[in-house]
Amino acid sequence: MPEEVNKTIQFNTRASRPKNAVVMIYDIVGFSGFFNQPDVHEYVPRFLNHISDAISTIIYGGEEYWIEEPEKILPLTAEVVHEKFLGDGALYIWLPPAGGGFSTVFITNLCNRLWNMQANFERILKKCVEFIPVYELPHGIRFGLARGTVYQLTNQKTRESEYIGFCINLASRLQRYCSELAFVASARTEIPDLMLSKYEYIKVVATKLKGFPKEIVIVDKNEYDKLPEEVKLDLFELLSE
């Protein structure tokens, strides 16, 4: 009989049925430069944990100390089913409550909390001074948010789950699409126009998003208005009236 060959990653031969999901990917801006400083390996885990604590507050509730008037927020109403460290950021996947869909409240709260975190990232960094004696810390964080179908894969050896789906790729590309914007969400998240107007978001068309031509995205109106005109012309179009 032939000798059995050792194998690396092997998944069960059937993926799960398609599931409706919301996907968020964040990237820490300037992390590579921070990591390359002398002896910084002593502080990298604590820095990453500090950022993860802020993300945990957004998801599971707690005090948003980084906003101008800190307040305690409640947990989001959908369940995180998967989170994965990506080296200089992380991936999160939510599924809706059993028997239901994603509520407008969940999507809107998630968007607002992510936007507030990136807009006040300096306040989060100030909390690092006590335990990270390094001057050049990462200077920002970018979020990409998308919604769509995912499929669950199960590792044959570890029984751990992985997920695949176009919305994961979309969230990844959104978070790095326009460096001047730290929060970009796909309009597939289905936030009602009334809520967009209330919280001063607008829809525009991303024209150079690889693999997603003419993708309608949601951005903060004030941030978009401040973009240089050449950036707007290069990367975006306004929706037709």
**Structural domains counted in the chain:** 1
As a whole number of angstroms, the distance between CA 181 and CA 138 comes to: 16
Q: What is the pLDDT of residues 50-83, one digit of tens each?
A: 999 999 999 999 999 998 888 899 999 999 999 9
Residue 146 belongs to a domain = yes
- The pLDDT, as a whole number, for residue 144 is 97
What is the arithmetic mean of pLDDT over 208-235? 94
Residue 228 belongs to a domain = no
Residue 203 belongs to a domain = no
For position 104, which CATH number holds? 3.30.70.1230
Residue 10 belongs to a domain = no
As a whole number of angstroms, the distance between CA 136 and CA 30 comes to: 9
- The pLDDT, as a whole number, for residue 58 is 96
**pLDDT more than 90, % of the chain:** 62
**pLDDT more than 70, % of the chain:** 93
Residue 218 belongs to a domain = no
List the domain range (segments joined by +) for residue 144: 19-187
What is the arithmetic mean of pLDDT over 170-190? 96
> Is the pLDDT at 10 greater than 80, yes or no?
no
Q: What is the mean pLDDT of the chain?
A: 89
- The pLDDT, as a whole number, for residue 208 is 95
Residue 215 belongs to a domain = no
Residue 1 belongs to a domain = no
Closest CA relative to residue 90, chosen from 48, 148, 40: 48
Tell me if 64 sits within 8 A of 171, measured CB to CB.
Answer: no
CB-hemisphere CA count at 13 Å for 81?
19
